[in-house]
Amino acid sequence: MNAEKEEKLVREIMGKSEIEMPFLDFESKLMEQIHKEANTSRSFLRDVKLSWFFFIVGTFFGLLLSIVAGQINETIYGFPAQRMVLIVQVVFAILLLSQFDKLIQLTRKRNKDFHLNL
């Protein structure tokens, strides 16, 4: 008799411990959000890879254009072409370094986010 009361009491306590979902579609919304975040993470990785690719291609073409432009021996609007090329090279170097820094930060952010999701 005592065992039956204990069993009934345990069943009653276990019944009260069940957690009710806040909404009927809570689980489906949560799974949808998880899938959306996984897709976002994949597209972010693809975008970072494309950013590096175009950065390298742009750097190569910028250097090539700078070398070719440096061989021009004419004047442009009264200024020697060599001086204009030097100004363009300085601007190119500043932009190159700033974009390189931003890409490094973006890659570190991706790696940090990737390791947090594991």
Per-residue pLDDT of the chain (118 residues; tens, 9 = 90+): 678 888 888 888 877 666 666 667 777 777 888 888 877 777 778 888 898 999 999 999 988 988 887 787 777 777 777 888 888 889 989 999 999 999 998 888 766 665 555 4
pTM above 0.85, yes or no: no
Task: Tell me if 49 is assigned to some domain.
Answer: yes
What residues make up the domain containing 109?
Answer: 25-117
For residues 13 and 54, what is the distance between their CA atoms, to the nearest angstrom?
Answer: 62
Task: Tell me if 95 is assigned to some domain.
Answer: yes
Task: Tell me if 10 is assigned to some domain.
Answer: no
Task: Tell me if 11 is assigned to some domain.
Answer: no
Task: Tell me if 12 is assigned to some domain.
Answer: no
